[in-house]
Amino acid sequence: MSSHDNMPEMSLYQPVQVEDAIGIATELAGRGWLVGGGQDTYGWLKDRAKTADALIDLKGIESMRGIKETADGIEIGALVTLTEITRDPIIKERYSLLAQAAGRVASPQIRNVGTLAGNVSQDVRCWYYRRGLNCYRAGGNLCYADTPEGMNREHAIFNASRCVAVTPSDTGPALVALEAQMVIQNASGQRVVPAEDFFIGPNLDIRHTTILRPGDILTAVRIPAKWANATFYFEKVADRNAWDFALVSISAAMRVNNGVIEDSRIMVGAVQATPRRLTSVEQAIRGKPRNESTANSLGNLASSDANPLNYNHFKMPLMDNLVKRAVRGQA
């Protein structure tokens, strides 16, 4: 019997050019595992819940590091750490929503190592799935969380399709709110995908949380100037302020002129498999003052079409209240 105290044996590749990494990833296909900070990867491999023949360590690729201004915003290298995001003066000044979200990921030690690409690409945290049970997401024919006996306090209240796990990313909803663009490279070249389309739910592909496939590498994230210096609101509710994943989070970007909300993008995390955009709320507050009255007028609009499970009904009022806090502009 193998010990879970040691990593399984596998090959290690350490390319220094994106093109070399793509070549290796393409050749290995599903047998190779891309590694940036490795915070999600090593747990999977050590627990034997997933396996790989080889690790492709991307940390030596300098072109995937750094934060730079562009003609229309900024570009963040995929290997930029979460700590670097929280400290970068341009992000803090113009796109503080992302800095706040990155600053609430796990613990300082993990933020020092964890990368932006890793945070948006990590797999779901459902403990049934993580313990190696043969659930729908793992190729089986049952969702253990969505049963009469299932423990599903942290799971989805929207858009469940066989699997009821939620997105674990704190930065993902913020990037969608900021209309970020994800830069993906593979052997065929480069493509740029809106962050809103980068994340996918089990109705499209139950085995993956993003559109990345073997041979694809997320090399950078671009944030347009459109929402620079907007009015932002971020809040994450978790069982503990450190380490824990969100029970519900909110990332809001608003254009406010003379106290009136002219435009907004409001995203909620940890309520479905992808960041959830609240278009009905955005429409309801457009042209309204940013105050208590507008917030209270929303009622339970945000959660009105939720379909909670046995143990997560609390997410509905929690979500509604976070939306109201964002709209009125105070906790």
46 pLDDT more than 80: no
Domain with 28 in it: 11-60
Report if residue 211 sits inside a domain: no
Q: Which two tokens stand for residue 190?
A: 């480069």
Q: Determine the average pLDDT of the residues in 91-97.
A: 98
pLDDT tens for residues 195-254? Answer: 999 999 999 999 999 999 999 999 999 999 999 999 999 999 999 988 899 999 999 999
**pLDDT score for 26:** 95
Question: Could you tell me the CA-to-CA distances from 66 to 76, 85, 116, 172, 224 in Å, in that order?
Answer: 6, 10, 11, 19, 17
* Of 52, 50, 49, residue with least CA distance to 24: 52
**pLDDT score for 63:** 97
- Identify the CATH number of the domain in which residue 28 sits: 3.30.43.10
Q: The dihedral of CA 200, 201, 204, 208: what is its sign? A: positive
Report if residue 26 sits inside a domain: yes
**pLDDT score for 1:** 41
Three-state secondary structure of 50-111: CCCCEEEECCCCHHHCCEEEECCEEEEECCCEHHHHHHCHHHHHHCHHHHHHHHCCCCHHHH
The beta-strand segments (E) located in 119-188 are: 181-186
Return the percentage of the chain with pLDDT > 70, whole number. 97
Task: Give how many domains the chain has, as a whole number.
Answer: 1
Q: Determine the average pLDDT of the residues in 110-122.
A: 96
Q: Determine the average pLDDT of the residues in 109-114.
A: 96
Q: Determine the average pLDDT of the residues in 21-26.
A: 96
Report if residue 30 sits inside a domain: yes
27 pLDDT more than 80: yes
Q: Determine the average pLDDT of the residues in 283-301.
A: 98
Report if residue 78 sits inside a domain: no
Residue 98 φ then ψ, to 5°: -70, -40
Report if residue 44 sits inside a domain: yes
pTM metric for this prediction: 0.95
Q: Determine the average pLDDT of the residues in 275-281.
A: 98
Q: How confident is the model at residue 123 (pLDDT cuts 50, 70, 90)?
A: very high
**pLDDT score for 5:** 59
Q: Which residues of 268-298 are buried (b: 16+ CB within 10 A; e: fewer)?
A: bbbbbbbbbbbeebbebbeebebeeebbeeb
Do 145 and 130 contact (CB within 8 A), yes or no?
A: no
